[in-house]
Amino acid sequence: MRVGYVRVSTREQDEGNALEQQTARVEKAGAVLIFSDVESGRSDKRKEFNKMLAMCKQGKISEVVITRIDRLARSVITIHRTLVSLEEYKVKLIVLDAPVDTSSPFGWFSVNQMAGLAEFESRLLSERIRHGLNYFREQKKASPRPPFGYGRVDEKYAPDMTLHESGKTNWVIASSIIDYFLSGNATLRSTAKYVLDNYGLSWTAPGLRYWMTNPVLQGNTAYNVHGNINNPQAWEIYENTHEALISKEKYKLILKKLEDNKTKYSYGNNKNTNKEPVPLVGQIICGDCGYKCFCLKRKWKTYRIRCKKHENLGESFCKNKVSTYLEDIMCAVDTALVARYKEIQNYTLANISSNEEDDPELIARQEQLKSLRLLPQNPIIQNAIEQTLLEIQVFKQREVAAKQVSSELIKALTTCFDDIGYWNELSWRDKQAIYKELVNYVKVLNGEIVEIILLL
């Protein structure tokens, strides 16, 4: 199977349609399945990239198409390691902008030279960005996204005097949130409820905690906080750069109350790091708020699924207050999978052929192409013909890709549900892995299973 790999950094994605352009080119080159990442090429943790390599290792891919060698990675080491892996898996690499044969010594040398240039360009870019960030910090400029209660005036933090519908400014509301949290027996959860009930602002408990401990609220400008929220030692802080929302004394009280609440309400304590594998966890979502659900195990060994948002923030944020038994959900999912297996079993090649012939979108494009070819030819008509041909090719490639992906899922489904006795004897750990292959998500609401969406 010929697949494509496309990648852009987040910055490139914001600037234009580079990802779409790459996708169109590799599709035109015959890729029936495309792996796409929006991440730095220097990262080795790209999800789609690693998924593609895993499929290459399994022998499911014979060719990989990319537009340029730097789309594969921005590191000489990563590119070299990938080339070695592809050669080992007997997968051919096709580079559209620089056709080379990596199986020949000259082609191998050329690709590695291009890899060196790609990393050189990446390092130059990183150097320019670093100089820009250093200048930004030296000027003590405010973040483009200041925390609630603050605005950005002349690139500095300043109280946000925007009038809220309650008649109060955001600055006053921010101050009242701090005062409420420090009063009586308030918790993060009750404070979030207070903010929602009084000002219509939705906040999670962790979000409130991060906001209240943000150095900006103490009148300081901080950098390198993103990615180091729980590691204050890595922050770069400039003190007393603007008006503070909370004093140092209030900040100490906030930290003390947060610490007390950890013990008082068991926040983050007694977490079991050796949890048994529970099927469908992470695939069950709330039918009211759309938040992911979690599994609560009672001492009498019943497994109940509850909405995490309702559990943390209460009924004001989510109305899904009744648990759903995990056994009931698994039973409903198994029934849906058995029904789907029977559908696949009864699905004949004749059905597939008729569906392909009757595809209305493909027929519409083909009719459009016939009409365009009957018109007097000029550059505009020729461009429309080429665009229509490309769209027809895309439709056909998507059909092939869907069949290629579905065939793997159908194989797993048939293996398990051709013999229900075999399925019933499987351990929860095995079922967990199979559900991930066959089930997209299950939606539950107040003890009822609302929707089951399968992957095939």
- pLDDT for the residue numbered 135: 53
* DSSP assignments along 35-69, one per residue: EEEES-TT-S--HHHHHHHHHHHTT--SEEEESSH
Q: Are 35 and 65 in contact (CB under 8 A)?
A: no
Phi, psi of 448 (to 5 degrees): -110, 150
Q: Are strands 2-8 and 33-38 parallel, antiparallel or unpaired?
A: parallel
Interaxial angle between packed helices 47-57 and 76-88, expressed in degrees from 0 to 180 and rounded to the nearest 10: 30
- pLDDT for the residue numbered 417: 67
Amino acid at 387: Q
Alpha-carbon distance 433 to 226, whole Å? 33
Q: Are strands 448-454 and 236-238 parallel, antiparallel or unpaired?
A: unpaired
Helix (H, G, I), strand (E, B) or coil at 443: strand
- pLDDT for the residue numbered 113: 64
Amino acid at 408: E
Query: CB neighbours (10 Å) of residue 326?
Result: 22
- pLDDT for the residue numbered 261: 76
Place of tokens 């008006």: 243
Alpha-carbon distance 451 to 346, whole Å? 24
Alpha-carbon distance 241 to 158, whole Å? 10
- pLDDT for the residue numbered 126: 62
| Total residues found in the chain within this entry | 456
pTM of the model: 0.45
Q: Are strands 150-153 and 284-286 parallel, antiparallel or unpaired?
A: unpaired
Alpha-carbon distance 77 to 85, whole Å? 12
- pLDDT for the residue numbered 394: 67
Alpha-carbon distance 126 to 138, whole Å? 18
Going from the N-terminus, what domains does the chain have, and what CATH number goes with each? 2-138 (3.40.50.1390), 150-264 (3.90.1750.20), 328-454 (no CATH)
Please give the structure tokens belonging to residue 447.
């003890």
Print pLDDT tens along the chain (456 aa): 899 999 887 654 445 577 888 888 998 988 888 898 888 777 778 888 989 999 999 888 999 999 888 788 777 677 778 888 888 888 888 888 877 666 666 566 666 666 666 666 656 666 665 655 565 565 667 777 888 999 988 888 899 999 999 999 999 999 999 999 998 888 888 898 899 989 999 888 888 988 998 888 999 888 777 667 677 777 778 888 889 999 989 999 998 888 887 765 544 444 454 556 788 988 999 999 888 898 887 665 678 898 988 887 778 788 898 999 998 999 898 888 888 777 766 654 344 444 445 567 777 778 888 887 887 777 777 777 777 777 776 666 666 555 555 666 666 666 666 666 667 777 888 888 888 888 889 999 999 999 999 886
Q: Are 181 and 217 in contact (CB under 8 A)?
A: no
- pLDDT for the residue numbered 348: 41
Q: Are 234 and 228 in contact (CB under 8 A)?
A: yes
Residues sharing a CB contact under 8 Å with residue 180, sequence separation 6 or more, in sequence order: 186, 191, 194
Sheet with 63-66: list strands edge to edge. 33-38, 2-8, 63-66, 92-95
